[in-house]
Structure 1
Amino acid sequence: MASAPSDDEMFDQFLSERGHETEPVGWDQSYNKKQCPECGGLHDASATECSVCGWVPGR
């Protein structure tokens, strides 16, 4: 018996069918730095959170 898709899976499918990205967003790369996809702030490779806007990958 197949299980029904979860609410999150159904919502992701709804969004993706309408052209929206549903994958978690990660850091962009700019030379040897991490770049925040939200504000464009540059950080060292060890950064885990944007010190400019507070963005955290996967949220």
Structure 2
Amino acid sequence: MASAPSSNDMFDEFLSQRGHETDEIGWEESYNKKQCPDCGGLHEEGATECSVCGWTPV
């Protein structure tokens, strides 16, 4: 028996069919440091939360 996709999968599929990106957002990298995609704050490699704006990866 096949299982139904989760509601998030269905929502992501709906958005992607209409040209929206649905990739999970994570840290960006800049000069060997983690960079927050929301505010651009730079952090050490061990950071788990942005100390500037409080953003956390999904």
Unaligned runs of 5+ in 2: none
Q: TM-score, normalised by structure 1?
A: 0.84
What are the Cα deviations for residues 6-43 of structure 1, in whole angstroms up to 9, with x where unaligned? Answer: 22211110111122221211100001111000110011
What secondary structure sits across from 2:34 in the alignment? strand
2:44 alignment partner AA: D
How big is the alpha-carbon RMSD for the aligned residues of Structure 1 and Structure 2?
1.2
Counterpart in the other structure of 2:3: 3
The sequence identity of aligned pairs, in percent, is: 72
What secondary structure sits across from 1:15 in the alignment? helix
Counterpart in the other structure of 1:29: 29
Q: TM-score, normalised by structure 2?
A: 0.85
- Runs of 4+ in structure 1 displaced over 6 angstroms? none
What secondary structure sits across from 1:29 in the alignment? strand
